[in-house]
Amino acid sequence: MVMATRWKKYSKRNTYYFRYRRRLILEMYRKYSQRYKDYLRYQLRKTLHLGTRNDFISFRIPSYGRFPNLKVLNLKLHLTLPNSVFLKRLFRSCPLLEDLYMDITCVDNFDQTFRFCIPTLILLQLKLNADEFDSCRHKEFIINTPNLESLSITDPSLSCFRIHDIVLPSLIQANLSIGKSSYVHDFQVSKDEASRVMEALKGVRNAIDLTLPFGTTSALSYCFDDGDDFPIFPCLLDLQLGIDYCFGWKLLPYFLENSPVLRYISLYRESETKYTTAIAEGKHKEADDTYGWKPPKQVPECLMDRLKNIEVRNLWRRKAECEVVKYLLENGKALEKMRISFEEDGISDEIDEDTIENFPRASESMILKISD
C-alpha cells in the first residue's frame, strides 16, 4: 500500500514535469520556428529572389545563418539604412555567390557608403532608380570584386562609383550607363560631378568588351579637357561608343590612341532631331563645323594593325561626319568590313553614299556597306 502511494505521487509529479517541459518546448518552437523555417527553406537554394514589403525586407537571417550553395541572388529594394545593414549581413552569408542582380530605388535620407566586397562574384548588374535628379547623386558605391567578369551599371543620376582594380584578364564585359545627356546639356551637372564617370571608367580599363551610351559619353566629354590623362585600355577588343549630339566625336581619337588591340568599334550617333530641338529651345548653342572631331597627331596602332570591323550608325549626313569616316577609311590598314547607316528622319543632306564610296581606302580588300 505504501509502495503504491509513493508510485502514484511520483507518477503524478512526473506527469506535471513532462507537461511543463512539453509546453516550454512548444512556446520556444512558436517563437523561433519561423526563423528556422526561413533559414532551412533557403539555405539549400542556388538561386534566391528577394523583394520588399513596405520598403523593408521582411526576410530574416539567423545569426549563425549561411547559404553555402547560393550562387545567384536577385534583389529589388529601397536603399535605406535597415536594408543596407541587412544586405551586408546577407552578402557575408553567401560564401559562393557568383551572380548578383540589384534593382535599387534611392531614398534621399540615405547617405551611407555602400560596399560590394564579394571576392567570389563573377557578375554584377546594378540598376539605380530615382524619381528626381538629386535622389542618387550624393550616393557612393565601392565595388571591390577582384574576380568580376561582367559589370553593368545603370544610373542616370551620377552617383559616385569607386571600382577597385579587377584582376587581369578577368573583366570580360563592362557596361557603364551613368548619367543622362539632357542633365549635362542643360547644365544641371557640374564638372566635378561629371568627373565621377571618368573615375568609374578608369576602374574598368582592363575590360575586353566596353559599352558607353550617350549619357556616359556626354558626361565624360564635359569633364575631360585636352591634356588631361585619359585611361589606357590594354585588353579592349570591342567598343560600343555613343556619340551624343552636344560634344560629338570628341572622345573617339582618345579611344583609338589608347586601345592598342582594338578589333571592333561601333559608333552610334544620337538623333539629329534632339539636337535641332535643343537649339530651337535655346538649351544648346550650335556646334562648330567639326562636331568635336580632332584627328590624332599620329595614326593609332589599332588602325594600322588590329581594327578589322567598324560600324557607324545613325549618321546625320553632315560634312563634319565625312571627315571622321574618311579618316577611318584612309588609315584602317587592317579593315575587313565597314558598315554605315544614316538616320531615317535626318534633316541634313550634305553628303550621300557616292561621296563615301569615293573616299580612298588603306585596305583594298575591305568591304563597305552603306544603308539608309
pLDDT at 319: 76
Strand, coil or helix: 267: strand
pLDDT at 159: 85
- For 281-319, the DSSP string reads TTSSPPP-TTTT----SS--HHHHHT--EEEEEEE---H
pLDDT at 28 over 50: no
pLDDT at 39 over 50: no
Lowest mean pLDDT among 1-5, 143-147, 152-156, 312-316: 1-5
In a domain, 157, yes or no: yes
pLDDT at 142: 93
pLDDT at 172 over 90: yes
pLDDT at 35 over 80: no
- The CA-based angle 336-367-208, given to 5 degrees, is 35
Mean pLDDT on 40-56: 48
pLDDT at 169 over 90: no
Mean pLDDT rounded to a whole number for the chain:
78
Strand, coil or helix: 116: strand
pLDDT at 29: 44
In a domain, 173, yes or no: yes
Percent above pLDDT 90 for the chain: 37
In a domain, 201, yes or no: yes
Nearest to 72 by CA among 51, 56, 94: 94
- How buried is 344 (Cβ within 10 angstroms: 0-12 exposed, 13-18 middle, 19+ buried)? exposed
Per residue in 323-343, pLDDT (tens digit) is: 899 999 999 999 999 999 887
Per residue in 273-298, pLDDT (tens digit) is: 665 666 555 555 555 555 678 899 89
pLDDT at 368: 93
pLDDT at 42: 46
Lowest mean pLDDT among 48-57, 61-70, 88-97, 114-123: 48-57
Amino acid at the residue 359: F
In a domain, 346, yes or no: yes
Per residue in 202-230, pLDDT (tens digit) is: 999 999 999 999 889 999 998 998 767 89
Q: Which pLDDT band holds residue 75 (cuts at 50, 70, 90)?
A: confident
Percent above pLDDT 70 for the chain: 71
In a domain, 135, yes or no: no
In a domain, 244, yes or no: yes
In a domain, 52, yes or no: no
Predicted TM-score of the model (pTM): 0.81
Query: How crowded is residue 4: how many other Cβ atoms within 10 Å of its Cβ?
Result: 8
Identify the CATH number of the domain in which residue 304 sits: 3.80.10
Nearest to 247 by CA among 202, 278, 281, 211: 278
In a domain, 355, yes or no: yes
Q: Which pLDDT band holds residue 265 (cuts at 50, 70, 90)?
A: very high
Is residue 372 a contact partner of residue 343, using CB atoms and an 8 Å limit?
Answer: no
pLDDT at 34 over 70: no
Mean pLDDT on 148-171: 88
Q: Which residue has the higher pLDDT, 241 or 14?
A: 241
| Number of domains, the chain | 1
pLDDT at 93: 84
Per residue in 98-144, pLDDT (tens digit) is: 999 998 887 766 677 888 999 999 999 999 887 655 555 667 899 99
Show the domain range for 252.
Answer: 143-370
In angstroms, the Cα distances linking 329 to 14, 259, 316 are 97, 18, 18
CB neighbours of 21 closer than 8 A, spacing ≥ 6?
A: none
pLDDT at 286: 55
